[in-house]
C-alpha cells in the first residue's frame, strides 16, 4: 500500500487511575471539524478520556465513532454520559448532543483549561479555518477574527502539501525549521497557488544547482502559512492603547498547533513565546464543549 | 412581500414585461449615482443591473481579477440576458464596473451607451457646476435617444415620483428602527432591491400597501439588532441566515441599501442643479468618500439612532473601494465600542462557515439571545 504521508495518527486515551462509576457527573464534548473530530469525556470536571480521528466525508458517523473510540475499553457506554455538547463545522450532525455550542467560545474555554487562566489570545489553527480569539480576564470572548473564503494557512493545506511532496506530516514542521534563514514565502492568497508555487521551487535553478534544499522549500511554504495566520491575528482589536498588538499570553489550539514550522514562526514574528499546555491542543474545542455543558 | 420577492428572484422579467406592456425603452445602469429622474422623464425605465449566481462562462476572457458581481454582469451582458436593454449608462461607482461597461460597449454596438462623469470629489467647490454640465450632456443624449425634448412638467413628475419612493422607503426604515421591529432585514432588503428594478410609480402603489400591512403586524421578538456594512448586496441570503440565528439586521449603509433612498431632491428652479445637489449630497459610496471620509461619522450616527448591538461588515472579495475604507471604519467602530465582525464573501454565501462565525459573534455580543442552529433534544439511547 502506498504510504499516506498526509495522514496524521489518530489518538485515544483513557485514565487508568480514575473510576468513572464513582463520578457524580459525566459530560462529553464532541468537536466535529472538517478534517478531524475529537471527543473529550469529563468525570466531575476532570478529563477522563479522549479521542481524535479523521472526520472523513460523513460527519454523523464521525461524531458517533469518535465518542465510541474515546470510551472504548473503559466499560462506559454512551448512555452513561449525562450530557453531551457538540461544536465544530459538523455540529449540526451530532444528533446525540443535547446542546450545540459556538466553536469560538468552546476553543476559548478549552484553551483556558489547557494553558491555564493566564491565556488571553487563542489562535485556533484548524483544518479549514483559522480563528484568532481575544479573551477577557474572565471566560468571555472580547473579539475574534476568522480567515476569509480561502483555506491557505489551514491544516487541510498542510495535509495536501505533504501528500504532494511525500513528506510525513509529523516531520515537515521540524524539517522546515532546520534552515539557517527563512527563504521568501510562497503565495499567501490561495492555497492552490501556494502549492503550485511550492512545487515550482523544485524547478528553479537554485534548487537544481543545490543552492536551495528541500527543507528550504518546506520553510518557504510554512512561512507563507504563518504569514497568513499573522494577518488574521493582526486584525484583532488591540487589548490596550499603545503598541500592544497582541496579548503575550498566547496559546495555540487545533491540529496545526502541533506543527512547529508554523507556530514557531508565528511566535518569532509576534515576539512572544506561546504557553505550554497540559493536553493535546487539538482537543481544545471538544474539551471546551464538555466544560461548558 | 411575495410580489417583491418575485421581482427580485426573476429580476429580468419585470423589465421585459414592462417593455411589452408600456412599449417604452429600458435603460440599464450599473451604480446608484445615476440621476434616474432624467431617464424617467424621458420615458425610459431605469433598471439596476443585478449580479447573479451562475456559472461564469465568458467574463474571464474580458475582465481579470475583478469582484464577482462585475464578472457576473459582464457574463450576463455578453450572454444576451440583457437583450431587452436599449441603453446602458455608467456613473463610475467603481472602476471594475467601468470595465464591465467598456466590455459591453465593445461587444454590443447596437446598445446606446453613455458615460456620465460623476466627480469623486463630491464636496469640492466646482463639483456642483461640473455635475450640472454633465447632466446637461446626459439630458441631451436622452433627448436624442427618445427623439423628444424632456419637458419641465415631465421632469417635475419624475422628481415627485422618485421623492415619494424615497419617502416610503425611509418610512420602512423607521419601522425597522422600532425597539421590536415589525419587519425583518431580509424583507426590507428585498423591497429595496425590487425598487431598483421597477417602475417607481407602480412600486409606490405596492409599497404603500405593504407599509399599511406592516403597521398592522405584530412585532417580532426581541432580537440582536445589527447593522450591515460593506459592499453592495445582490440577494438576501445573509439577512435570512442572520434571522435564522435569532438576530435581525435593522439598518445598513450599503450603496444600494439605505444610501439609495436616504435623501430627496429639493425643488429648485434650476432642475439640473436640484438633481446635482441631490446626488452629490447623498450618503456616499466608498469610492466617493476617499477625500472627506464622512462615512465613518454617518455609520456611527446610524448605529446610535438604530440602537444596534453590533455591525456586520461583509465585503465582496476584490472589492477595492470597500477594502480601502476598512481602516477608517474599523477604527471608528472600535473607538466607539461598537462590536463588529468582518468577513469577505462573493456571490455565494458559504452557509456553514458563515453560520459558525455569526453564532460566535452573536454569542459574544449578547449571550443568551442567540439561537444556535441545531439545538437538539437529547436522543434517548
ipTM of the shown complex: 0.77
Given 3.30.420.40, 1.10.10.1100, 3.40.50.1370, 2.40.110.10, which CATH number is that of A117-276?
A: 3.30.420.40
B339 touches chain A (CB under 8 A): yes
Q: For residue A231, what is the DSSP state?
A: H
- Chain A residues interacting with chain B (CB cutoff of 8 angstroms): 77-79, 83-84, 86, 89, 91-92, 94-105, 128-129, 140-146, 148-149, 235, 237
Does B376 contact A83 at a Cβ distance shorter than 8 Å? no
Grid coordinates given for B81: 440576458
Residues in B closer than 8 angstroms to A237, CB to CB, are 334
Q: Which of A102, A145, A149 sits opposite B350 (nearest CB)?
A: A149
Q: Which residue bears the cell 462585475?
A: B70
User: Rounded to two decimals, what is the model's pTM?
Assistant: 0.85
Over its length of 293 residues, how does chain A's per-residue pLDDT go in tens digits?
Answer: 578 898 888 999 999 999 999 999 999 999 999 899 999 999 999 999 999 999 999 999 999 999 999 999 999 999 999 999 999 989 989 999 999 998 999 999 999 999 999 999 999 999 888 999 998 888 888 889 988 766 655 888 899 889 989 999 999 999 999 999 999 888 777 777 888 888 888 888 888 888 889 999 999 999 999 988 998 898 887 655 455 556 788 999 999 999 999 999 999 999 999 999 999 999 999 999 999 98
**CB proximity list for B213: less than 8 A, separation 6 or greater:** none
Cα–Cα distances (Å) from B155 to B118, B130, B149, B161, B297, in that order, read 20, 20, 11, 10, 33
3-state secondary structure B289-309: HCCCCCHHHHHHHHHHHCCCC
Q: Which of B251, B238, B243, B195 is nearest to B5 (CA)?
A: B195
- Chain A residue numbers with beta carbons less than 8 Å from the beta carbon of B354 are none
Q: Do domains A11-107+283-292 and A117-276 have the same CATH topology?
A: yes
Given CB atoms, is B371 within the 8 Å cutoff of chain A?
A: no
Q: Please give the helix or strand (H or E) that residue A285 lies within, else none.
A: helix A284-292
- Per domain, the residue ranges of chain A are 11-107+283-292, 117-276
End-to-end Cα separation, chain B, in angstroms? 44
Measured between alpha carbons, how far is residue A168 from residues A153, A193, A259 in Å?
A: 18, 22, 12
What is the enclosing helix (H) or strand (E) of A148?
none
Say which of A89, A95, A99 has its CB closest to residue B356: A89
Q: Report, at the CATH architecture level, how domain A11-107+283-292 is classified.
A: 2-Layer Sandwich (3.30)
CB contact under 8 A, B360 and A104: yes
Instruction: Cell numbers for B3, please give them.
Output: 410580489
Q: How far is CA B167 from CA A165, B170, B259, in A?
A: 63, 5, 13
What are the backbone dihedrals phi and psi of residue B310, each rounded to the nearest 5 degrees, phi first? -175, 175
Task: Please give the Cα distance from B29 to A153 (Å, whole number).
Answer: 40
- Shortest Cα distance, chain B CAs vs residue A89, angstroms: 7
Amino acid at each position: 500500500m502506498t504510504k499516506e504521508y498526509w495522514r496524521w495518527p489518530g489518538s485515544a486515551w483513557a485514565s487508568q487511575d480514575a473510576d468513572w462509576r464513582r463520578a457524580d457527573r459525566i459530560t462529553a464534548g464532541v468537536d466535529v471539524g472538517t478534517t478531524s473530530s475529537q471527543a473529550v469525556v469529563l468525570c466531575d470536571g476532570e478529563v477522563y478520556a479522549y479521542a481524535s480521528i479523521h472526520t472523513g466525508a460523513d460527519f454523523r458517523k464521525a461524531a458517533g465513532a469518535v465518542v465510541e473510540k474515546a470510551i472504548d475499553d473503559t466499560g462506559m457506554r454512551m448512555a452513561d454520559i449525562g450530557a453531551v455538547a457538540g461544536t465544530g463545522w459538523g455540529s449540526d450532525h451530532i444528533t446525540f448532543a443535547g446542546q450545540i455550542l459556538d466553536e469560538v467560545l468552546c476553543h476559548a474555554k478549552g484553551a483556558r483549561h489547557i494553558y491555564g487562566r493566564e491565556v488571553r489570545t487563542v489562535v485556533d489553527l484548524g483544518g479549514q479555518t483559522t480563528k484568532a480569539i481575544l479573551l477577557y480576564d474572565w471566560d468571555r470572548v472580547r473579539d475574534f477574527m476568522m480567515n476569509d473564503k480561502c483555506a491557505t494557512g489551514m491544516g487541510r493545506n498542510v495535509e495536501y502539501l505533504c501528500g504532494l511532496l511525500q513528506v510525513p506530516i509529523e516531520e515537515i514542521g521540524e524539517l522546515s525549521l532546520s534552515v539557517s534563514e527563512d527563504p521568501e514565502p510562497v503565495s499567501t492568497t490561495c492555497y492552490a497557488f501556494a502549492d503550485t508555487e511550492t512545487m515550482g521551487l523544485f524547478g528553479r535553478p537554485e534548487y537544481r544547482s543545490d543552492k536551495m534544499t528541500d527543507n528550504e522549500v518546506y520553510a518557504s511554504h510554512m512561512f507563507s502559512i504563518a504569514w497568513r495566520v499573522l494577518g488574521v491575528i493582526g486584525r484583532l482589536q488591540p487589548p490596550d492603547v499603545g503598541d500592544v498588538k497582541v496579548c503575550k499570553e498566547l496559546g495555540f489550539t487545533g491540529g496545526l498547533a502541533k506543527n512547529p514550522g508554523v507556530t514557531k514562526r508565528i511566535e518569532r514574528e509576534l515576539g512572544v513565546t506561546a504557553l505550554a499546555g497540559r493536553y493535546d491542543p487539538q482537543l481544545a474545542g471538544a474539551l471546551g464543549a464538555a466544560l461548558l455543558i | 412581500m411575495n410580489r417583491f420577492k418575485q421581482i427580485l428572484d426573476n429580476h429580468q422579467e419585470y423589465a421585459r414585461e414592462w417593455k411589452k406592456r408600456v412599449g417604452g425603452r429600458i435603460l440599464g445602469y450599473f451604480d446608484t449615482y445615476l440621476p434616474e429622474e432624467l431617464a424617467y422623464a424621458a420615458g425610459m425605465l431605469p433598471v439596476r443591473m443585478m449580479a447573479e449566481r451562475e456559472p461564469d462562462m465568458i467574463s474571464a476572457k474580458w475582465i481579470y481579477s475583478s469582484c464577482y458581481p462585475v464578472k457576473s454582469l459582464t457574463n450576463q451582458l455578453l450572454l444576451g440576458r440583457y437583450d431587452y436593454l436599449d441603453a446602458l449608462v455608467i456613473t463610475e461607482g467603481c472602476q471594475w464596473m467601468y470595465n464591465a461597461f467598456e466590455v459591453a460597449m465593445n461587444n454590443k454596438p447596437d446598445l446606446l451607451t453613455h458615460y456620465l462623469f460623476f466627480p469623486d470629489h463630491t464636496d469640492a467647490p466646482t463639483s456642483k457646476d461640473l455635475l450640472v454640465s454633465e447632466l446637461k450632456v446626459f439630458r441631451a443624449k436622452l433627448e436624442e435617444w427618445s427623439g423628444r425634448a424632456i419637458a419641465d412638467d415631465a421632469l417635475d413628475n419624475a422628481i415627485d415620483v422618485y421623492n415619494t419612493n424615497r419617502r416610503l422607503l425611509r418610512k420602512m426604515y423607521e419601522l425597522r428602527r422600532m425597539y421590536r421591529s415589525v419587519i425583518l432585514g431580509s424583507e426590507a432588503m428585498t423591497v429595496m432591491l425590487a425598487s431598483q428594478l421597477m417602475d417607481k410609480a407602480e412600486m409606490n402603489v405596492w409599497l404603500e400597501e405593504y407599509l399599511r400591512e406592516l403597521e398592522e403586524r405584530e412585532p417580532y421578538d426581541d432580537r440582536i439588532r445589527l447593522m450591515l456594512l460593506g459592499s453592495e448586496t445582490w440577494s438576501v441570503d445573509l439577512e435570512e441566515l442572520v434571522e435564522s440565528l435569532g438576530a435581525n439586521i435593522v439598518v445598513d449603509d450599503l450603496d444600494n441599501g439605505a444610501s439609495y433612498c436616504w435623501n430627496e431632491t429639493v425643488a429648485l428652479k434650476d432642475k439640473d442643479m436640484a438633481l446635482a445637489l441631490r446626488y452629490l449630497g447623498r450618503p456616499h459610496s466608498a469610492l466617493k468618500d476617499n477625500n472627506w471620509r464622512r462615512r465613518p461619522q454617518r455609520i456611527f450616527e446610524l448605529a446610535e439612532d438604530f440602537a444596534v448591538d453590533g455591525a456586520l461588515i461583509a465585503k465582496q472579495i476584490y472589492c477595492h473601494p470597500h477594502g480601502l475604507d476598512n481602516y477608517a471604519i474599523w477604527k471608528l467602530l472600535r473607538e466607539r465600542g461598537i462590536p463588529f465582525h468582518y468577513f469577505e464573501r462573493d456571490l455565494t454565501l458559504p452557509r456553514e462557515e458563515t453560520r459558525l462565525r455569526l453564532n460566535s459573534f452573536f454569542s459574544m455580543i449578547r449571550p443568551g439571545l442567540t439561537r444556535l442552529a441545531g439545538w437538539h433534544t437529547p436522543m434517548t439511547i
